[in-house]
A and B are shown apart, each in its own frame.
Chain A
Amino acid sequence: MKVVLCSFLLEILLVAVVGQVARGQGMAGSSMHLASPGGAQSKTNSQPSRITIKDFSFGPTSTTVPTGTKVTWVNKDEEPHKVVSVDEIFKSTALDTDGEFSFVFSKPGTYKYFCSVHPRMVGTVVVEDSKPNGSMK
């Protein structure tokens, strides 16, 4: 059987861009709020990072970013997916095709996440300590 799979971008689900100040700070599932772009929690000039959801996997599966980076996931599948932190630090709503979800990582650490709709889909964001001027203490 010839299987042809490809993706079409027909529907856009607008998803609130979610920011969260710090790991473990008042995140209880629904207490998400809108981030102010370039707001107070962006301590560095780090480039935003994008993770593509395609063929039921996160690409790249593991990504390393400096503290303060805004990471955005975008769903390029025809199947809805979710981005959910294993430690319940962040959680998207269902992302339809082209749906996006963002989170600002303001504390160093290793953040494991998965798609709670398709739990075989797992990924990791490693947030490294970084100083705005590159100075080390």
Chain B
Amino acid sequence: MDRKKIITENLNQDGVDRRGFLECMAWAGTGAYFVLSGGVLKSFALSGGMPREQMPKGELAFVQISDSHIGFNKEANPDVVGTLRQAIAKVNALPTRPAFALHTGDLSQLSKPDQFDTLEQALKELRTEKIFYVPGEHDVLDDDGKAYRERFAKDSIGDGWYSFDSGGAHFIGLVNVMNLKAGGLGSLGSEQLAWLEKDVQHLKSSTPIVVFAHIPLWSVYPDWGWGTSDSEQALGFLKRFGSVTVLNGHIHQTMKKVEGNVTFHTAMSTAFPQPAPGMGPSPGPMKVPAEKLRSMLGITDVNFIPGRHTLGIIDSSLEDGSM
């Protein structure tokens, strides 16, 4: 039997260069369609001519939404509930009804009960069976995530991590926004890492793995805290798997990277965009003209074709598509 390709080198050397960033940014706001096949990622802009109906469908379809920041009301987007509703409508109009949704954190702006309420109410409109959450730093501000877990991660372990199986793939929700250390980045912590190692121990290497967490599990831009200090250890436990997909939020823009059998991907926010790495004084909300905002917010939908290690990731902004 052929051995699956594994990551052999350079897992830590994942600094992204300026050129890479610019390439990635060319996709922002346009919507992009990704297909991973045998470790090679191909991407097409949604405006590039391929009709949505011709995009491959898998045996499992799910969506990712992220960074809803309910409660934010500043100029960058005074109506974050409205844009979340648009994102929900976008999902509901997909040709394939998603099996479930992943929300990759920052549900709220300030971890307030009424903000969690509003989010929960809005997401009731989402046509899917279940929503899986991981917290963002905005959801665990003053109570170490207690209120978040009670509402959104009841059956989780520790600070809110868990795993589940669907469509032959193994999904792992991780928490990297708690117990952060001065001067550091996102952090998983030793307890969660020990759990993760055990969680994947008995899986076959051919099992597709999907990891989702708020802060990127790769070094997008450490100067802005866009990375996770101990993500290398987590990815180390996943090295033997033939297909690993890492879905993150936090940076409010789409970025992708492929390293060996690991595909990293970040989603757009449903609330407001943030600047490209280093393209501004800080990673705060970015103000864009009102008519441009919807093109910089969006959703991600993912189609799995089990057994072929083929994964289709489609980012679409609230603006594009013919729905």
Contact = CB atoms under 8 A, between A and B. Distances in A.
Interface in B11-56: 25
Contacts of B76: 78
Contact of B110 (A55, A80, A86, A114): A80
A79 B110 CA distance: 9
Given A3-B286, A10-B73, A80-B141, A120 B280 contact: no
Contact of B142 (A93, A120, A122): A93
B141 A94 contact: yes
Interface of A: 1, 3-6, 8, 10-11, 55-57, 77-80, 82, 86, 93-94, 96-97, 112-114, 116-120, 122
Interface string B171-184: 00000000011111
B285 A79 contact: yes
Contacts of A97: 74
B195 interface: no
Task: Please report whether the interface of chain A is mostly helix, strand, loop or mixed according to DSSP.
Answer: loop
Rank and list the top 5 A-B pairs by shortest CB-CB distance, nearest first. A114-B182, A94-B141, A55-B282, A56-B282, A119-B180
B286 A5 contact: yes
A93 B143 CA distance: 10
Contacts of B275: 1, 3, 5
B82 interface: no
Interface of B: 25, 72-76, 109-111, 137-138, 141-142, 180-185, 222-225, 275-276, 279-287
A78 B284 CA distance: 7
Nearest to A113: B182
A80 B180 contact: no
A127 B285 CA distance: 35
Nearest to A91: B142
A121 B281 CA distance: 13
Given A5-B280, A8-B74, A55-B284, 16 more contacts: A1-B25, A1-B279, A3-B279, A3-B286, A6-B287, A11-B74, A55-B281, A56-B284, A77-B282, A77-B284, A82-B141, A113-B182, A114-B183, A118-B137, A119-B185, A120-B224
A96 B115 CA distance: 14
B74 A3 contact: no
A77 B284 CA distance: 8
B297 to A, nearest CB: 16
Contacts of A57: 282
A11 B115 CA distance: 15
Contacts of B75: 8
Contact of A122 (B73, B183, B276): B183
A73 B201 CA distance: 47
B181 A119 contact: yes
Contacts of A118: 137, 225
Nearest to A120: B225
